[in-house]
Amino acid sequence: MAALLWAKLASGTATTTTVRLVAVVLCAAQVARLPRVPYPAAALVAFPVAIGLVLFNGGLVSYNRWSGAEPYSVQRLFATRPPFGEELSPQVALRPGSPFRGYADFLVAEKGVTLTAPNELRSWHVLDIRRSPSIRTS
Amino acid sequence: MARARHPTLSQYSHFLTPAYHAFFSRLLDAPDDRPNVNHAAISRINLPMMRMLGLRYLMVDGPIEMPGLTRVARDGRYRLYELADPNLASFSPTRPHRVADARGLLATLADSGFDPRVDVAIAEEPGITDQLVPATDTTLTFVRGGFRFTGRSDGHSLVVLPVQYTRCLELHTVSGSGEGARALRVNLVQTGVLFSGDAEIEGRYRPDGPWERCVRDDVADVERLRIHDLVERRRLPSYSFPGERFRLFAPFGLD
């Protein structure tokens, strides 16, 4: 276990979760080996911990799955009109034959993942997603 | 914005061109951003570069006080700012800065003394004279499959178009009193039009195919500009892992 931890640290792939899990395993093993701890009690703790670790590491079980969410999936969808759409259209909207009058863009101020979608997405594409009570549209 | 026919500099596609990715990540992204090759979005205000690219309106989630930005509208927490004097095919630089590769181009563009209205960064391009004169009466109109550019020059002029450069772009001089116009890569990502006299020029994009080598020529450009030398060999980004990475070697400068 120590070799695994060292290898992950050396290769830069160790996460704080990894370190915590290794610490839990080592502590559990030490506790289970205490002479005062009877074997049935140690087994009662050690086996669920071992099984849980295997399942969590294999991806069969995860907190996200328990909470009803999948990692990297859309969690909330906000369907709004693009801000300033009416102001910008006469200024920069580009149509064949129209002169170029400049680009309109936005500054990404937040580092979080934001998905903006036009109102048209309230069609059947979204109806599937809206079955989830966590979806909000405006 | 795209659905409302509002052109943007930001792109979301399968893959950005290497030159565009390099330009955006070095000049328009914050240093702690995590740029990727599928998406380009502005996260740092760099007014000279924005104006050079043709950006006229910038929507910001919050207030900003900066010379060169004028607030023109507000919608809740969003503010709309207008940039003064963007490049609407109106930048006709007369001071070419010749450098060898993409690294040199980016360094030139990042220089505080670089004024995109009079300066232009170019890699080795034959046939560009140092005696450039500013063009006048320039217009740029987009048409299906390309664009139409008009301009006037008393000698040889170079106009920086707010259009990405590609070898698949073909220029035809519709009418003109001077030599035939020529397209070249300027400022790493932009299309420069070199022309003389009065010119009406049509730009058309031709599709790549078995008889057409323009995309392969674009790839050759990437090699010629040594864009791959810009790649920073970093460790895998932390979001690739389930949780925050344990930064054991950070104190030694290895993370």
Per residue in B10-20, pLDDT tens? 888 888 899 99
What's the CA gap between A29 and A27, in Å, rounded? 5
Q: B83 has which bridge partners?
A: B69
A57 and A17 in a common domain: yes
For residue B28, pLDDT beyond 60? yes
The rounded mean pLDDT for chain A is 70
Per-residue confidence (pLDDT) for residue A37, from 0 to 100: 79
To the nearest whole angstrom, how far is the Cα of B3 from the nearest Cα of chain A? 8
Tell me if B28 is assigned to some domain.
no
Per-residue confidence (pLDDT) for residue A137, from 0 to 100: 38
A45 and A23 in a common domain: yes
- Of the candidates B179, B174, B138, the residue with the CA atom closest to the CA atom of residue B159: B138
- Of the candidates A74, A72, A79, A67, the residue with the CA atom closest to the CA atom of residue A136: A79
Say if the Cβ atoms of A84 and B53 lie within 8 Å: no
Range of the domain at A19: 2-66
Largest CA distance in chain B: 67
A11 and A34 in a common domain: yes
Range of the domain at B96: 88-231
A12 and A58 in a common domain: yes
Which of A12, A97, A102 is the closest to B56 by Cβ?
A102
Task: State the DSSP H helix or E strand holding residue B151, giving kind and residue range, or none if neither.
Answer: strand B146-164
Per-residue confidence (pLDDT) for residue A36, from 0 to 100: 81
A108 and A54 in a common domain: no
Query: A66, A90, A117 — which closes off a domain?
Result: A66
- Of the candidates B96, B99, B116, the residue with the CA atom closest to the CA atom of residue B107: B99
Tell me if B115 is assigned to some domain.
yes
- Chain B's closest residue to A8, CA to CA, is B246
What's the CA gap between B82 and B74, in Å, rounded? 12
For residue A99, pLDDT beyond 70? yes
Query: Which chain A residues have a beta carbon less than 8 Å from that of B78?
Result: 83-84
Query: A32, A66, A100 — which closes off a domain?
Result: A66
What's the CA gap between B112 and B227, in Å, rounded? 22
Here the ipTM equals 0.86
User: How many independent structural domains does chain A possess?
Assistant: 2
Tell me if A37 is assigned to some domain.
yes
Tell me if B124 is assigned to some domain.
yes
Could you tell me the pTM of the whole model? 0.70
- Chain A's closest residue to B41, CA to CA, is A108
Instruction: Using pLDDT thresholds of 50, 70 and 90, give the confidence band for residue A80.
Output: low
Tell me if B194 is assigned to some domain.
yes
The helices-and-strands tally (H runs, E runs) of chain B is 4, 12
A106 and A54 in a common domain: no
User: How many independent structural domains does chain B possess?
Assistant: 1
Q: Does A70 touch chain B (CB under 8 A)?
A: no
Tell me if B20 is assigned to some domain.
no
Per the rule left: phi > 0, alpha: psi between -120 and 50, beta: everything else, B135 is beta
Q: Which of B1, B32, B163 to mutate to test the interface with A (most CBs of A within 10 A)?
A: B1
Tell me if A125 is assigned to some domain.
yes
